[in-house]
Structure 1
């Protein structure tokens, strides 16, 4: 039985959905939910979230769908994406996604009530960053999504379209510029049966979306929300290249990707090199991984290459070929 194929009479569909949600919930998933929801009745939470999606679908059905031509904004070829290993997919496999808002957000009672009121009042909602109804999480974790991209719901099943609901600007707080590389950002094919569901306005960020790594701005957002930056406001490291003082040690900086050292003025430690550009083309072969060791690893292999140029030089680079020995 699949909850995504319900049609029939509302009462019967409701029963099927409820039974499917219970049967699909793994033992580990149930244990995690009981711990995370802190005494909230699981069946009640399931029903309230289901009702939220039904109300949203009713509102969407009254609007004429306008397919979006994504060819003007970047490649329309399907990317490999990261959907299979995403938080959403893992939650779905454990059966906990139906008990969480948008499949991965544990709402407080206040937040859920606000969303219910917003939909019932037909309020336009705009998804941005941290919700203004959010409390500070006791375990120092904040889970929210960010997106100002083109959303094309043509290939997204109606029962999954609630994942692209919008929060009103009055319900959100912006701590950072828009972050396509956030670990909480959907990838270009999220929830789509084919093609793309989400296309960035700036085409070069198409494959940035759906990252499985916590970004610099993710960390900055959390530190801002918890007012951690105030710890180092008076004194600390003189960070460069956009780095921010580390609240755990004000003498060093938290650096954007590609920068390292205590002040973010050095190439990050690890593989890679510094190459000086000149008047003629230079070639460099970059190899990641170990040809003799094909075993799975617990973390990513990341190398940083810097290319140094003089201010008067017009710099050009070209990737000739990318290949994989195995995948």
Structure 2
């Protein structure tokens, strides 16, 4: 089995659209301008030409899937396939050479609820878009569960299986009810509304998902001192000045015959002068030759 490369989305939001972040759309209202401009800069949306976004125009199913997949940065990086998946393997009405085919494949394998016989040119309702957007967002991580219920006056019109996702859509503050407390679930979503929801979802994602701190490589070198003792050197490699260091905190001997050496790293302190001399940041300890030396970062206090 081989891992296929992540399917990239190189087509525009609509196949005939052009993209240029150098221009501001003249038909976008002030309340939507920031969201649409931000998404345009990220290559998530584009206009029908350099001056017009048509925010009140309806959005198709194909445009929806493309926008959500790009906005939530969904991909197939962690999946393996016997053969490269095709849209025709999953959907009856999605041509393999369509500009949106890759997006439908990615959406399907990321758990978005798309009917097998979906019409890519059909318009999409507010409840359909909201449900898929929440599913895509929650695919990116674990979000706090708020035990709160928002009353929706037209709740009876919401498709039952969408109710939970739409409650979370409102709790995440991705969308809001109108002044009458209505969600209008069966109404077609507009391009401007879709952009606003995607923009808000990205903000939720970036607020709640912390990027992992890069782990710096630390090498372990073992030199024999005598038959009973080894010299162990932990090294961060060559650094531009002496402000970089590594300190050994403790050595733990486990039942697997390992000497686990815990260490901390120190980087140059702000407003401190260091000699600009290439220096190897390293630390040395000695352990019994009966144990295999391994290193791990010390637990944070």
Going by fraction, where is helix more abundant, 1 or 2? 1
Which entry has the higher C-alpha Rg, 1 or 2? 2
Q: Considering the TM-score relative to the shorter chain, is it more than 0.5?
A: no
* TM-score with structure 2 setting the length: 0.24
More strand by share: 2
Instruction: With the length of structure 1 as denominator, give the TM-score of the two structures.
Output: 0.22
